[in-house]
């Protein structure tokens, strides 16, 4: 995992210039209708959460049918969240933004790529960099693109997703990562496979990256 050195205040117009005009128009429309009291959010199961307070995605849509691998999302942050705001904060914590990015990746696979809800996700790498503070008083949006999709027998096995965080039409930061998708039964077999260094009689679970 790689995280940038914090807010550096520099502009990056070339990044926002790459966002399609239709996406910026959609985000502007969403911002004009933003109502924090409405608590609009994705269903918990799409982001693998039991507590609705831990769902940080308000809405998620494909940019268009012609661009199915490009997504627009609005994030949702509760300033009374018991973990991320256990002490006073005047901005959205970076780790909260990263969790929202992780949730976005999960929801995208279930909604748009046919991944079963009981699948297991193994995070391979993640990189994030922040340029500005995310203010609590304004909505935060994400424009992202899915790439490097790998299929086997018609099922999505791995992918990479890269996106940028946007607030008030300005770039807040960026995040990208890749993960693999496993059938639950297959992962259970892999976890029970003996490691070569343990010898043939060993039955210790195989070490594996964190499953989502």
Domain that holds residue 27: 2-183
> Tell me, what's the pLDDT at 75?
93
191 within some domain: no
Which stretches in the chain have pLDDT values below 50?
1, 3, 5, 8-14, 201-210
Beta-carbon contacts of 138 under 8 Å, excluding residues fewer than 6 positions away, are: 31, 167, 168
Regarding pTM above 0.95, the answer is: no
80 within some domain: yes
> Tell me, what's the pLDDT at 209?
45
> Tell me, what's the pLDDT at 194?
73
165 within some domain: yes
> Tell me, what's the pLDDT at 16?
53
* CATH code for the domain in which residue 99 is found: 3.10.129.10
Say if CB 148 and CB 121 are below 8 A apart.
no
207 within some domain: no
Structural domain count of the chain:
1
204 within some domain: no
Burial of 97 (0-12, 13-18, 19+ CB in 10 A): buried
**Distance (Å, rounded) from C-alpha 191 to C-alpha 212?**
15
43 within some domain: yes
> Tell me, what's the pLDDT at 21?
72
């Amino acid at each position: 995992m790689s995280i940038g050195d914090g807010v550096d205040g520099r502009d990056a117009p070339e990044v926002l210039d790459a966002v399609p005009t239709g996406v910026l128009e959609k985000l502007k429309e969403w911002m004009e209708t933003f109502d924090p009291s409405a608590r609009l959010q994705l269903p918990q199961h799409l982001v693998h959460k039991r507590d609705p307070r831990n769902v940080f995605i308000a809405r998620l849509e494909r940019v268009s049918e012609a661009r199915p691998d490009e997504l627009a999302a609005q994030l949702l942050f509760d300033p009374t969240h018991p973990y991320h705001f256990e002490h006073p904060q005047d901005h959205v914590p970076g780790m909260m933004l990263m969790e929202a990015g992780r949730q976005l990746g999960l929801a995208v696979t279930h909604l748009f790529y046919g991944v079963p809800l009981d699948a297991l996700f193994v995070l391979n790498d993640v990189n994030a960099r922040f340029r500005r503070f995310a203010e609590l008083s304004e909505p935060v949006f994400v424009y992202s693109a899915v790439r490097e999709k790998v299929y086997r027998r018609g099922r999505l096995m791995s992918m990479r997703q890269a996106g940028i965080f946007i607030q008030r039409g300005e770039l807040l930061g960026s995040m990208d990562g890749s993960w693999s998708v496993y059938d639950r039964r297959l992962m259970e077999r892999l976890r029970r496979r003996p490691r070569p260094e343990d010898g043939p009689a060993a039955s210790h679970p195989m070490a594996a990256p964190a499953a989502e």
